[in-house]
Every structure is written in C-alpha cells, then in structure tokens.
Amino acid sequence: MRALETVATAVEAHGLAAHGAFDLGDEERRGALAGAATIVLLGLDGRRGWAAFSASPEALDGGADPLDRWSRRVVDGLATALDARALHPFGGPPHWPFQRWAMRAEPLHVSPLGLLIHPSEGLWRGYRGALAFTERLAFPPRAAAPSPCETCDARACLSACPVGAFTGAGYDVAACVAQLESPAGRSCMEGGCMARRACPVGADRAHAPAQAGFHMRAFLSARRPA
C-alpha cells in the first residue's frame, strides 16, 4: 500500500504540498470518479510554491489565467507520474466540491466569511488540484480540532470589510467588486482582502503583496463581462 508521504514527497519538488487525503465512499465512486478510492488535495507550498509558479513559463508568457494553466500542467504531470487522475478546482461549472473534500481531509471549518479556516493555517488554505488514486493510500486519520472561530469573540473578519460585504446572508460579491473597481479599493487590490487579512489565526501565512495582488486582479478580471 502506498503512503501519503510518497505523494507528498513527489509533489513537493514542484512547489506543491499535500493538504490531506480522504477515502471515497462506494456511492461516490461513479462517473468521473468511478474506480477512485483515495483523493489527495494539493495546494501551493506557501511562499516556496509561489516562487515555483512565478518562475514558470505560464507566469511569464503574458497569457490569460497563468496560475490555472501552471496548475493544470503540473498536476496533470504528477497524475501521469503517480498513476492517478488529476482533478482541478477551476474550469467549471460544474465544480468539483473542493471545500467539502477539504473538510474531510483536514480539520477545516466554515468561517463566518464562507472560506474554510484551519486551526493553525487560518483562512489561507487554497487548492491547486487533487489526485484521485484507484488504490487506497495509507494516511493518518484526520486530526480532530475545533474551529478557532468558536472562541474568537472579536470576530475581526466581520467588521474589516469597508463595504460590509460579509453579512449573515453571505458574501455580497457585487458590493465587493464595486469597491475593488473604485480608488478606495486599493488597499484590498494591493494587499489582499482586508476581511481575510483581519483574522489573527495563521497571520504569518498571509500572502505577500505580489501574490495577494495577483489573486485580487485575477478575481476582479473574472468578474468583468468578457
């Protein structure tokens, strides 16, 4: 039986990290997941991962969606090398349910922002792909840890957005986009979402300005009509 560490070591060479694994139930093993047994989630390995992407041909060729194109090439290549199937978080709809999968792979919880929160990494978990293996992999059981939001009285994430985009009713995407398109949205555009940055958990994992700006520009351009 192959172990998760074998996969983690293989993906590490590409600036990726394995963010946990889980086994599919029999009822889930159909359609594109027919025959799949274990899914391993992959994300950028912090600033090391960002540096790997930044030096790639996709990051430098001036074409559209460089991070998604890099992710597709790297994760597809890993799938071939490891005899697995590549699954991508982008390209939908329909979308693979990465957030639901992530909660099965690691002790992640839904935060008041709708983003998942990790007990030590905070709101900074993100996914560049997943690998589905037909064989069951050996991996440790998911650690049990409560949501840091349960004991967070200040809830700074909910008051940090200058246009109050996060309400009990969800995320007001239109209000956020209008702010980002205005001069007042500069702090978010250059430093990343202020609500996400306001959370004290895993603050040292926050994106550096180059990465934060890249994600914000990608988010905004995807919201503009083609």
* Residue 110 site contact among ligand B12, ligand SF4, none (CB < 5 to 8 Å, cut-off depends on kind): ligand B12
Q: Does 154 bind ligand B12 (CB under 6 A)?
A: no
Helices and strands (H and E) in the chain: how many: 10, 8
Question: To the nearest whole angstrom, how small is the minimum distance from the Cβ of residue 146 to ligand SF4?
Answer: 11
Question: To the nearest whole angstrom, how small is the minimum distance from the Cβ of residue 162 to ligand SF4?
Answer: 6
Among 102, 193, 211, 214, binds ligand SF4 (CB under 6 A): 193
| Contact string (CB under 6 A) for ligand SF4, positions 144-163, x = contact | ----xx--x--xxx---x-x
CA distance 115 to 40: 20
* Residue 98 site contact among ligand SF4, ligand B12, none (CB < 5 to 8 Å, cut-off depends on kind): ligand B12
- 133-161: burial string, b at 16+ Cβ within 10 Å, e else: beeebebeeeeeeebbbeebeeeebbebb
| Closer residue to ligand SF4 (CB): 40 or 193 | 193
- Omega into 140 within 30° of 0, i.e. cis? no
CA distance 143 to 198: 26
Q: Does 219 bind ligand B12 (CB under 6 A)?
A: yes
Site for ligand B12 in 84-103 (CB under 6 A): 89, 95-100
Q: List CB contacts of 206: < 8 A, sequence separation 6 or more.
A: 124, 192, 196, 197, 212
